């Protein structure tokens, strides 16, 4: 990756303006976006997400505490891209929300089943979890194993 030629650290006040930093480090955001292309998202979307990470890095950067700006900027941009890909289910894993619902499925199904004396419907599971039925279906489809029926040996 090419680094900007001006190595002055950004400062919060009296220093380089945020817009100048965004412009100066935009090529780095572009390179990172290109690196993550081909995972189901467009370059433009990934560039926007990397740029958002750059904005966060600029806002959080403290030159008295953080060292070189790139040590803050690169992880912030890569982190935003990774979060975006996970949220949209594009990195080979289930989105975080689906994973959370999957973790809560079995205990919820067991509780409802005990209370109702029958297997609960998808709508009943969704209501108990406080989520939409589509999210329950997505979580159940995304499971690696079929739902457990604990009444069967």
What three-state secondary structure class fits 147?
coil
DSSP 39: S
Domains and CATH numbers, the chain: 18-87 (1.20.120.1810), 96-141 (1.10.10)
Q: Average per-residue pLDDT in the chain?
A: 79
User: H-helix or E-strand containing 77?
Assistant: helix 70-87
User: Can you give the pLDDT at residue 92?
Assistant: 53
Q: What is the pLDDT of residue 44?
A: 92
Contact 130, 123 (CB under 8 A): no
Whether 95 and 80 have beta carbons less than 8 Å apart is answered as no
38: pLDDT confidence band, cut at 50, 70 and 90?
confident
Band (19; pLDDT cuts 50, 70, 90): confident
The pTM for the full model equals 0.53
DSSP designation for 3: -
């Amino acid at each position: 990756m090419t680094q900007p030629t001006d190595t002055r650290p950004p400062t919060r006040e009296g220093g380089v303006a945020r817009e100048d930093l965004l412009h100066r480090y935009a090529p780095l955001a572009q390179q990172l976006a290109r690196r993550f292309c081909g995972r189901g998202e467009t370059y433009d979307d990934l560039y926007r997400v990397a740029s958002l990470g750059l904005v966060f890095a600029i806002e959080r950067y403290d030159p008295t505490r953080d060292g070189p700006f790139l040590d803050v900027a690169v992880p912030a941009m890569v982190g935003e891209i990774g979060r975006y890909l996970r949220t949209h289910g594009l990195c080979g894993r289930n989105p975080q929300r689906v994973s959370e619902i999957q973790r809560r499925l079995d205990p919820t199904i067991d509780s409802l089943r005990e209370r109702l004396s029958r297997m609960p419907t998808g709508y009943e599971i969704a209501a108990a979890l406080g989520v939409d039925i589509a999210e329950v279906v997505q979580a159940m489809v995304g499971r690696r194993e079929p739902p457990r029926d604990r009444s069967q040996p």
